[in-house]
Structure 1
Amino acid sequence: MSKVKNVVIAGLGGQGVLKASDILADAAFRAGFDVKKSELHGMSQRGGSVSSDVRFGDLVLSPMVPPGEADVLLVLEATQVEINRPTLRPGGVLIGPDVLDPGALKNKKSLNVALLGAMSTALDIPEEHWLAAMYANLAEKLHTINEQAFALGRSAAIEQDTADR
């Protein structure tokens, strides 16, 4: 049995946190994993904190990532990093908006997909499943710009979190 992978995606309302978690869950499902997902909307309509937990593996019993057990923490808004850092396990991977060159992103609304691209290199899900999930979850008119954003993210360097807790 494979270990369950725990991912937390966090940001502010309107940044695409929930769409990013939908794409991740879909990609993991396409790769043959059991997937569970939960969402905390908070004040999402007013730009407040939003987070989503995605867990996948051979058998997943709960959708919630226990505190301090996220293998990956993906944060779309820099102000949300420290708020959500306690969810990350020691040695886990923290991916924030600072992994990208802000000028390289052609459409700022594609930040969530670009950061998924960065995260995709840290998870055992083939790229074709990521792309299929992206196509299934986004309008066709958005495919080209999001393909570019995803590729930009995949080229970003990500590192394990070494911050003290």
Structure 2
Amino acid sequence: MPMITNIVIAGLGGQGIVKASDILAEAALRAGFDVKKSELHGMSQRGGSVTSDVRYGHPEHSPVLSPVLSPMVPPGEAHVLLVLEPTQVEVTRALLHPDGLLIGPEVIEPGALKNRKSVNVAMLGALSTALEISEQAWTQAIQANLAEKLHALNAQAFALGRACGPGRVGRLTTQALPC
């Protein structure tokens, strides 16, 4: 990944887009990165579009105190576009860098999860295979951002996503890759 990594998470209200970006931002922070995050809520409580930008980089690789000066990912600059809703793939594709990685909702097989509400964490599991953030940092971030009663369910979802990642997510593409 480059000096600053730009990730956009997109979907619809109620899919856990903001929670997924909170987990990603915390995992990157726990891994020692400088992190900035922003959210754009459409009619999120009514199933409208929601996007969240997460940008991170190593402080020692920057001539300034913080390598990430803005939380917003410029159009066409997302290194990774993580999309939880099929209808949002084309809506948000312009955010993706030409050599960027699109992780679409097809990565997780329908019915593979015990609870569809944990699809956001499963998608983070798939994403995690393409990033330089330790599994320990991810686990700690998931536990810090979710109620204790949800830890086991989401640990399973994250593991499922990680199992879907290798060979499917680890290469640059603009095609959604099924698990």
TM class by shorter-chain length? over 0.9
Among 70, 77, 80, the residue aligned to 2:78: 70
Q: Normalised by the size of structure 1, how large is the TM-score?
A: 0.95
**C-alpha deviation, 1:160, in angstroms:** 2.3
2:119 and 2:146 mapped to 1: Cα distance? 14
**More displaced stretch, 129-138 vs 150-159:** 150-159
1:1-165 superposed matches below 5 A: 3-58=3-58, 59-156=67-164, 157-158=168-169, 159-162=171-174
2:61 corresponding residue in structure 1: none
Q: Distance in 2 between matches of 1:85 and 1:136?
A: 31
State the SS of the aligned residue for 1:39: strand
- Taking a change above 3 Å as real, the CA distance of residues 150 and 95 of structure 1, as seen in their structure-2 partners, is same
Shift of 1:162: 3.7
Q: Which runs of 5+ in 2 are unaligned?
A: 59-66
3-state SS, counterpart of residue 53 of structure 1: strand
Large movers: runs of 4+ above 6 Å: none
The 2-side partners of 1:160 and 1:108 are apart by 27
Report the secondary structure of 1:109's partner residue: helix
For 2:140, what is the secondary structure of its paired residue? helix
Q: Whole-Å Cα distance in 2 between the matches of residues 62 and 160 of structure 1? A: 25
Percent identity over paired residues: 70
Q: Which residue matches 2:64?
A: none
TM-score by length of 2: 0.88
Alignment partners' CA distance in 1, 2:102 and 2:148: 30
Q: CA deviation at 1:25?
A: 0.3
1:19-58: per-residue Cα shift (whole Å, max 9, x none)?
0000000000000000000000110010000000000002
Residues 90-99 or 141-150, more deviating: 90-99
1:136 maps to a residue whose letter is A
SS at match of 1:102: coil
